[in-house]
Amino acid sequence: MEGGGVPSTGNSFKSAAGVVAVVVVLGRNIHVQTNQVLVSLKQNMKNKTLNQLGTTHRPVRLRKDLWRPLVALTGFDTPQSAQALSDALLERSQTCQKELKVSADHVAKPRRLRAVDEMNMVESSVLSLRDALESVGTRRQQGKLLALWEQPQWMELKGEKEWPSFLEHGQLELRNNRFVKE
């Protein structure tokens, strides 16, 4: 991590100043036909993380070569604030999936086209991230969060609203094309 960060146990890093930096990672399936998104507090996801996806389109197991980070958020005050953001993102993701499946125009589409729409979660995930940051941001104590994007054009999917003022953006660097550099 920047600023002389020293890895500690789990997924948090303690900097030289004693500030805990917790990483929230959103993963993206880079398979040609899907854009499914998973929320994880750890860089290395486990198979049970796939339970976030609907049972219809859930892969049998997690193939780490098909998942890449969409965005990594760092700079949280406490691990609890990172968990609160993760919970808010999961709740919004499940709500969006349920609303999509019951919408009239979605149900009217052929099944093969509905599957593509249900798996394409990147845009709704970025919008959910912005909304979750706004709701969690009202409880923030101090400091800025850093959002490191794998592809900067995803940052532009924010919709009509702007990103919160406490959020800075940067480019995500990957090691072995999979893991966030420390």
Read off the pLDDT of residues 64-122 as tens digits, 9 standing for 90 and up.
777 778 888 888 877 888 888 888 888 888 888 888 888 999 889 998 888 888 888 88
pLDDT at 4: 38
pLDDT tens digits along 11-50: 544 444 444 555 666 555 444 457 788 888 877 778 888 8
Whole-prediction pTM: 0.75
% residues pLDDT > 70 (the chain): 76
Q: What integer pLDDT is reported at residue 32 of this predicted model? A: 40
Asked, for residue 118, whether it belongs to a domain, the answer is: yes
Residue 1 included in any domain: no
The answer to whether residue 66 sits within a structural domain is: yes
* Number of neighbouring beta carbons within 10 Å of residue 91: 12
**Rounded to an integer, what distance in angstroms lies between the CA atom of residue 159 and that of residue 168?**
17
**Is residue 78 included in any domain, yes or no?**
yes
User: Which residue, chain included where needed, has tokens 């019951």?
Assistant: 102
Identify the pLDDT of residue 20: 52
In a domain, 125, yes or no: yes
- Tell me, yes or no, whether 182 lies in a domain: no
Number of domains in the chain: 1
Q: For 112-133, write each residue's pLDDT tens digit.
A: 888 888 888 888 888 888 888 8
Is 54 inside a domain boundary? Answer: yes
Closest C-alpha among 86, 68, 42, 58 to residue 50: 58
Whether 22 is in a domain gets the answer yes
**Residue 118 belongs to domain spanning:** 6-172
Measured in degrees and rounded to the nearest 5, phi and psi for residue 122 equal -65, -50
- How many alpha carbons fall within 13 Å on the CB side of residue 42? 8
